[in-house]
């Protein structure tokens, strides 16, 4: 059974830092691209960052670029999100999400197929 378990959330002051972790099990973590997706209170889903299986490709949303760093440790089957210079608008539930690609013929259809339960980050003074 695929499991993604986030930890590390909490209350932090504006300008502060926080590090989220995600422990993965039930699949070959070292072969999977991974993402962080967040949801602000009462708002929709926002993609935050992506990291390829071997960490060679890393992508960020403009809203977090330069402040957040996504990383992974395949030996520990863990995904991380280092968040610095946090702002009130970073408040939300942060999900660890697996990237999946189903290939048929010459086309692959990507999706986010497994989601963790989320870790709550609150940025407030």
- Residues engaged in binding another protein (CB under 8 A): 35, 44-47, 50, 59-62, 95, 100, 102, 104, 107, 109-113, 115-118
CB of 121: closest distance to another protein in angstroms?
A: 16
Helix (H) or strand (E) holding 101: strand 92-104
Q: Closer to another protein at the Cβ: 13 or 57? A: 57
Instruction: Measure the CA–CA gap between 103 and 86, rounded to whole angstroms.
Output: 38
Q: What is the CA 100 to chain-centroid distance, rounded? A: 14
Q: Closer to another protein at the Cβ: 56 or 125? A: 56
Closest CA to 68 of 54, 98, 89, 53: 89
CB of 98: closest distance to another protein in angstroms?
A: 10
CB of 41: closest distance to another protein in angstroms?
A: 11
Q: How far is CA 63 from CA 32, 35, 56, 106, in A?
A: 24, 15, 22, 34
Q: Closer to another protein at the Cβ: 35 or 78? A: 35
CB of 78: closest distance to another protein in angstroms?
A: 18
Please give the span between the terminal C-alpha atoms of the chain, in angstroms, as a whole number.
Answer: 40
Q: Closer to another protein at the Cβ: 16 or 67? A: 67
């Amino acid at each position: 059974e695929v499991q993604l378990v986030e930890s590390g959330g909490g209350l932090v002051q504006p300008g502060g830092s926080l590090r989220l972790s995600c422990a993965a099990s039930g699949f070959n973590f070292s072969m999977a691209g991974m993402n962080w997706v967040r949801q602000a209170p009462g708002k929709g889903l926002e993609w935050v960052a992506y990291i390829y299986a071997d960490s060679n490709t890393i992508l960020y949303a403009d809203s977090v670029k330069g402040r957040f760093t996504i990383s992974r440790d395949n030996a520990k089957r863990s995904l991380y999100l280092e968040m610095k210079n946090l702002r009130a608008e970073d408040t939300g539930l942060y999900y660890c999400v697996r990237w999946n690609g189903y290939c048929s013929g010459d086309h692959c259809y990507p999706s986010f197929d497994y989601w963790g339960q989320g870790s709550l980050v609150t940025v407030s003074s």
